[in-house]
Amino acid sequence: MAHYSRRTEEAYLGWIRRFIVFHGKRHPALLGEAEVTSFLSTLATEKKVASSTQNQALSALLFLYGEMLKKDLAWLEGLVRARGPRRLPVVLSRDEVLAILSQLQGRPRLVATLLYGGGLRLSEGLRLRIKDLDFSASQITVRGGKGNKDRVTLLPAAVQEAMRRQLEVVHRQYQTDLARGAGWVELPLALGRKYPNAGREWPWQWVFPAARHYMEPRTGQIRRHHLHESVLQRAVRLAVLKARITRPASCHTFRHSFATHLLQGVAFLPCHPSGTEAAAAALPS
């Protein structure tokens, strides 16, 4: 499955398996629009899935038929679409953001501060690589964000010293990994084939690497993944409780709060004066 992330590959394969099982393990080539419509409608009417979940299942089946079976699906007539809830995002006050951050320590605090100070999604913050940081311009380049789009956002001055210390720790770990025959990281898309040694170079290393290694079965490389999202999610959930915030705040709440505070002119993390345009570009869509 070229040009798809590992997470997307796993999600698509999971939906394809469910589709096949739903229709009595018949081969997909023997199925068509009616069976796809039935499966997707059942997700909405019986499973009560969210609209985003149904859309992902639809994308997986379109990939199955269009890319793998080379069979175009006609219009799915009669498809019952799941309805997406319309909810206003939770926006924290400046004091609430400070209260939560004060309950965090170490890497979780640094990542959470980046989420707020740069308006990053959790996945974007954890997937940062060394080359994405520009300290001289106080900017972060977010690569392959939502919609597979790149953008530039703020690297707050308030976290730059802590980020430099983080990179020093990561570089020592990287040198140790190299000496042990490891030091590899996953590369986006087909870059690993085009530049076979890039995955072991310093600029491509994760800013927040995981503690453990893993072996990539297709290449035999000993790699590190980036820090897992659940580490931050658990830390923030606990910090919200300790800060006695009663609203349902999460990692993504920092991004919404960043956008609102930026528009209100009350964001408190110092940033480089030239960051105004980057800040505007980083506003959630």
Integer Cα distance of 166 and 145 in angstroms: 23
Q: Confirm if 89 and 256 have CB atoms less than 8 A apart.
A: yes
Domains and CATH numbers, the chain: 6-68 (1.10.150.130), 94-281 (1.10.443.10)
**Distance of alpha carbon 277 from alpha carbon 55, whole angstroms:** 33
The whole-number pLDDT of residue 277 equals 45
pLDDT digits (tens, 9 = 90+) for 38-80: 999 999 889 888 888 999 999 999 899 988 998 887 767 667 7
CA distances from 89 to 98, 244, 249, 251, 257 (A): 19, 19, 9, 12, 9
* pLDDT confidence of residue 269: 57
Check whether 228 has a pLDDT greater than 70. Answer: yes
| 3-class secondary-structure state, position 135 | coil
Task: For tokens 């606990």, name the residue.
Answer: 238
Handedness of CA 122, 123, 126, 130 (dihedral sign): negative
Q: Which two tokens stand for residue 250?
A: 């999460």
Pair of tokens at residue 70: 């080379």
In this predicted structure, the answer to whether residue 23 has a pLDDT above a threshold of 90 is yes
Residues whose CB falls within 8 Å of the CB of residue 272, separated by 6 or more in sequence, listed in order: 137, 138, 139, 154, 155, 157
Give the tens place of pLDDT for each residue, 67-122. Answer: 899 888 776 766 777 676 667 788 999 899 999 999 999 999 999 999 999 999 99
pTM: 0.73
